[in-house]
Chain A
Amino acid sequence: MTFATMLQTMGSGMLKTILLFVLTLLGSIPLGMIVVFLKKSKFKPIAWLTDIYIAIMRGTPLMLQLLVWYFGPYYIFGWSIRGYKFPALLIGFIMNYAAYFAEIYRSGIDSMPVGQYEAAEILGYGKIQTFFRIILPQVIKRILPSVTNEVITLVKDTSLASALAYAEVFSLAKQISASQTSFLPFIVAGVFYFVANYVVAWIMKGIEKSMQYYK
Chain B
Amino acid sequence: MAEQNLENQENLGKEVLRMTNIHKCFDTLVVLQDINLTVHHGEVVSIIGPSGSGKSTLLRCATFLERIDGGEIEYLSKTAAKTENNGKVSYANKQEMKEIKKYFGLVFQQFNLFPHQSVLQNVMGAPVHVLKRDKKEVEEEARILLQKMGLADKADAYPCNLSGGQQQRVAIARALAMKPEVLFFDEPTSALDPELTIEVLKIIRQLAEEKMTMVIVTHEMSFARAVSNRVIFMDGGVIVEEGDPEDVFGDPQQERTKQFLKSYKD
Contacts and interface: CB of A to CB of B under 8 A. Distances in A.
A119 interface: yes
B178 A124 contact: yes
Nearest to A138: B116
Contacts of A118: 65, 108, 112
Q: Which of the listed residues B101, B112, B131, B158 has the most CB atoms from chain A within 10 Å of its own CB?
A: B112
B94 to A, nearest CB: 10
Contacts of A43: none
B174 interface: yes
11 contacts: A116-B114, A118-B108, A121-B65, A122-B104, A123-B174, A124-B102, A125-B126, A129-B129, A134-B114, A138-B116, A215-B160
B125 A123 contact: yes
Q: Which of the listed residues A113, A119, A122 has the most CB atoms from chain B within 10 Å of its own CB?
A: A122
A215 B178 contact: no
Contacts, number: 57
A115 B126 contact: no
Given A115-B110, A118-B108, A124 B126 contact: yes
Contacts of B160: 214-215
A137 interface: yes
Contacts of A137: 116
Interface in A173-215: 213-215
Given A119-B113, A122-B101, A137-B116, 11 more contacts: A115-B108, A119-B108, A122-B63, A122-B104, A123-B130, A123-B175, A124-B101, A134-B114, A214-B158, A214-B159, A215-B115
Interface residues of A, number: 21
B112 A133 contact: no
B195 to A, nearest CB: 23
Nearest to A123: B126
A141 interface: yes
Interface of A: 113, 115-116, 118-126, 129, 133-134, 137-138, 141, 213-215
Given A123-B178, A124-B102, A124-B178, A115 B112 contact: yes
A133 B124 CA distance: 13
Contacts of B237: none
B108 A133 contact: no
Interface of B: 63, 65, 98, 101-102, 104-106, 108, 110, 112-116, 125-126, 129-131, 158-160, 174-175, 178
A130 to B, nearest CB: 10
A207 to B, nearest CB: 14
A197 to B, nearest CB: 29
B57 to A, nearest CB: 13
A133 B102 CA distance: 19
A117 to B, nearest CB: 9
A129 B130 contact: yes
Contacts of A141: 116
Contacts of A120: 114
A115 B114 CA distance: 10
A134 to B, nearest CB: 6
A119 B159 CA distance: 15
Q: Which of the listed residues A121, A124, A125, A137 has the most CB atoms from chain B within 10 Å of its own CB?
A: A124
Contact of B106 (A122, A125, A138, A213): A122
A133 B130 CA distance: 11
Contacts of B174: 123
B125 A133 contact: yes
B115 A133 contact: no
